Protein backbone atom coordinates (compact mmCIF):
# COMPACT_ATOMS: atom_id res chain seq x y z
CA UNK A 1 0.00 0.00 0.00
CA UNK A 2 2.83 2.41 0.89
CA UNK A 3 4.54 1.64 -2.42
CA UNK A 4 1.40 2.54 -4.36
CA UNK A 5 1.11 5.86 -2.53
CA UNK A 6 4.77 6.66 -3.29
CA UNK A 7 4.29 5.80 -6.96
CA UNK A 8 1.11 7.90 -7.10
CA UNK A 9 2.92 10.89 -5.54
CA UNK A 10 5.84 10.54 -7.96
CA UNK A 11 3.52 10.34 -10.96
CA UNK A 12 1.61 13.37 -9.70
CA UNK A 13 4.87 15.31 -9.34
CA UNK A 14 5.95 14.34 -12.88
CA UNK A 15 2.55 15.32 -14.30
CA UNK A 16 2.64 18.66 -12.46
CA UNK A 17 6.16 19.39 -13.72
CA UNK A 18 5.18 18.55 -17.29
CA UNK A 19 2.10 20.77 -17.01
CA UNK A 20 4.17 23.62 -15.58
CA UNK A 21 6.72 23.57 -18.40
CA UNK A 22 4.16 23.02 -21.15
CA UNK A 23 2.41 26.28 -20.20
CA UNK A 24 5.23 28.25 -21.86
CA UNK A 25 5.10 26.30 -25.11
CA UNK A 26 4.03 29.46 -26.94
CA UNK A 27 7.45 31.09 -26.32
CA UNK A 28 9.38 31.27 -29.59
CA UNK A 29 12.31 33.39 -28.40
CA UNK A 30 13.30 34.81 -25.01
CA UNK A 31 16.72 36.34 -24.44
CA UNK A 32 18.23 39.05 -22.24
CA UNK A 33 21.39 41.12 -22.52
CA UNK A 34 22.88 42.53 -19.32
CA UNK A 35 23.76 46.22 -19.20
CA UNK A 36 27.26 46.67 -17.77
CA UNK A 37 27.31 48.60 -14.49
CA UNK A 38 23.64 49.44 -15.07
CA UNK A 39 24.76 52.21 -17.44
CA UNK A 40 23.14 52.03 -20.86
CA UNK A 41 24.87 54.25 -23.41
CA UNK A 42 22.51 55.52 -26.10
CA UNK A 43 24.95 54.71 -28.92
CA UNK A 44 25.18 51.08 -27.78
CA UNK A 45 22.14 49.36 -29.17
CA UNK A 46 21.21 45.89 -27.98
CA UNK A 47 21.08 43.35 -30.83
CA UNK A 48 18.98 40.22 -31.09
CA UNK A 49 19.38 38.02 -34.16
CA UNK A 50 16.81 35.35 -34.83
CA UNK A 51 16.83 32.70 -37.55
CA UNK A 52 14.21 30.30 -38.85
CA UNK A 53 11.03 31.81 -37.47
CA UNK A 54 7.67 30.22 -38.19
CA UNK A 55 6.43 31.90 -41.40
CA UNK A 56 2.73 31.15 -40.84
CA UNK A 57 1.82 31.78 -37.21
CA UNK A 58 0.97 35.17 -35.70
CA UNK A 59 3.15 36.38 -32.84
CA UNK A 60 3.38 39.08 -30.21
CA UNK A 61 6.79 40.67 -29.68
CA UNK A 62 7.77 42.17 -26.32
CA UNK A 63 10.67 44.25 -25.13
CA UNK A 64 11.57 43.26 -21.58
CA UNK A 65 13.25 45.77 -19.31
CA UNK A 66 14.69 45.13 -15.86
CA UNK A 67 15.32 48.26 -13.82
CA UNK A 68 16.31 49.22 -10.29
CA UNK A 69 15.21 52.14 -8.14
CA UNK A 70 18.25 54.01 -9.57
CA UNK A 71 16.26 54.58 -12.77
CA UNK A 72 15.37 58.25 -12.40
CA UNK A 73 12.54 58.70 -14.91
CA UNK A 74 8.84 57.81 -14.91
CA UNK A 75 8.95 56.78 -18.56
CA UNK A 76 11.38 55.15 -20.97
CA UNK A 77 11.92 56.12 -24.60
CA UNK A 78 13.30 53.53 -26.99
CA UNK A 79 14.20 53.33 -30.65
CA UNK A 80 13.47 49.82 -31.88
CA UNK A 81 14.69 48.65 -35.27
CA UNK A 82 13.63 45.51 -37.06
CA UNK A 83 15.52 44.41 -40.17
CA UNK A 84 13.73 41.81 -42.27
CA UNK A 85 15.55 39.10 -44.26
CA UNK A 86 15.07 41.11 -47.48
CA UNK A 87 16.92 44.10 -45.95
CA UNK A 88 13.80 46.22 -45.37
CA UNK A 89 14.00 48.10 -42.04
CA UNK A 90 11.21 49.19 -39.73
CA UNK A 91 12.16 51.80 -37.12
CA UNK A 92 9.83 52.72 -34.27
CA UNK A 93 10.15 55.33 -31.53
CA UNK A 94 8.46 53.98 -28.43
CA UNK A 95 7.48 55.41 -25.06
CA UNK A 96 6.69 53.23 -22.05
CA UNK A 97 5.45 54.27 -18.63
CA UNK A 98 7.70 52.91 -15.89
CA UNK A 99 5.75 54.30 -12.89
CA UNK A 100 2.14 54.99 -12.07
CA UNK A 101 0.88 58.54 -11.42
CA UNK A 102 1.94 58.26 -7.75
CA UNK A 103 5.52 57.35 -8.68
CA UNK A 104 5.22 53.66 -7.81
CA UNK A 105 7.17 51.32 -10.07
CA UNK A 106 5.22 49.30 -12.58
CA UNK A 107 6.30 45.79 -13.51
CA UNK A 108 6.74 42.66 -11.48
CA UNK A 109 9.13 41.92 -8.65
CA UNK A 110 9.14 42.27 -4.88
CA UNK A 111 12.64 43.68 -4.49
CA UNK A 112 14.31 46.79 -5.86
CA UNK A 113 14.54 45.04 -9.23
CA UNK A 114 11.44 45.38 -11.42
CA UNK A 115 10.74 43.55 -14.65
CA UNK A 116 8.56 45.12 -17.33
CA UNK A 117 7.11 43.19 -20.26
CA UNK A 118 6.36 45.86 -22.86
CA UNK A 119 4.39 45.31 -26.05
CA UNK A 120 6.44 46.07 -29.16
CA UNK A 121 4.69 44.35 -32.09
CA UNK A 122 1.27 42.78 -31.88
CA UNK A 123 -0.15 40.03 -34.09
CA UNK A 124 2.86 39.98 -36.45
CA UNK A 125 3.64 37.19 -38.92
CA UNK A 126 7.28 36.73 -39.88
CA UNK A 127 6.42 35.74 -43.43
CA UNK A 128 9.94 35.65 -44.88
CA UNK A 129 12.45 32.86 -44.43
CA UNK A 130 15.79 34.05 -43.12
CA UNK A 131 17.39 36.18 -40.42
CA UNK A 132 15.50 38.85 -38.49
CA UNK A 133 17.61 41.47 -36.71
CA UNK A 134 16.24 43.47 -33.81
CA UNK A 135 18.10 46.45 -32.33
CA UNK A 136 16.99 48.39 -29.26
CA UNK A 137 18.49 51.74 -28.20
CA UNK A 138 17.36 54.09 -25.47
CA UNK A 139 16.42 57.64 -26.35
CA UNK A 140 15.49 58.96 -22.89
CA UNK A 141 16.01 62.65 -22.22
CA UNK A 142 15.38 64.98 -19.32
CA UNK A 143 13.59 68.30 -19.63
CA UNK A 144 15.64 70.73 -21.77
CA UNK A 145 18.16 67.94 -22.41
CA UNK A 146 18.89 67.88 -26.13
CA UNK A 147 21.74 65.36 -25.97
CA UNK A 148 19.80 62.82 -23.91
CA UNK A 149 20.70 60.94 -20.76
CA UNK A 150 23.98 59.23 -21.47
CA UNK A 151 24.57 56.87 -19.86
CA UNK A 152 21.07 55.98 -18.70
CA UNK A 153 21.40 54.52 -15.21
CA UNK A 154 19.29 51.91 -13.46
CA UNK A 155 18.58 49.56 -16.38
CA UNK A 156 20.09 46.15 -15.60
CA UNK A 157 18.88 44.04 -18.55
CA UNK A 158 17.16 44.43 -21.89
CA UNK A 159 15.34 41.48 -23.39
CA UNK A 160 13.32 40.45 -26.39
CA UNK A 161 10.53 37.90 -26.21
CA UNK A 162 8.43 36.49 -29.03
CA UNK A 163 5.29 34.53 -28.19
CA UNK A 164 3.16 32.60 -30.65
CA UNK A 165 -0.48 33.64 -30.38
CA UNK A 166 -2.59 30.69 -29.33
CA UNK A 167 -5.74 30.23 -31.38
| CB-based contacts of 88, cutoff 8 Å, min separation 6 | none
In this structure, is residue 32 part of a structural domain? yes
Query: Is 16 inside a domain boundary?
Result: no
Task: Dump pLDDT digits (tens) for 64-76.
Answer: 999 999 999 999 9
Residue 75 lies in a domain: yes
- Tell me which residue range forms the domain holding 38: 26-164
Q: Is residue 46 part of a domain?
A: yes
On whether residue 2 sits in a domain, the answer given is no
Question: Within a domain: residue 5?
Answer: no
Instruction: Summarize pLDDT for 125-165 with one digit per residue, the tens.
Output: 999 999 999 999 999 877 777 677 789 999 999 999 999 99
Handedness of CA 98, 76, 28, 44 (dihedral sign): negative
pLDDT at 10: 57
Q: Within a domain: residue 100?
A: yes
pTM of the model: 0.81
Q: 115: domain CATH number? A: 2.60.120
Cis peptide before 151 (omega within 30 of 0): yes
In a domain, residue 36? The reply is yes
Amino acid sequence: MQTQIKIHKQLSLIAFTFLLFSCNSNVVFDQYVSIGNQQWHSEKGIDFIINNLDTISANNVFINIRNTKNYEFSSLFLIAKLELPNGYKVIDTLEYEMTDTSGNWLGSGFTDLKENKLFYKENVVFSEIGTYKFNIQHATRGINDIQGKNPLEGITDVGLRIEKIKK
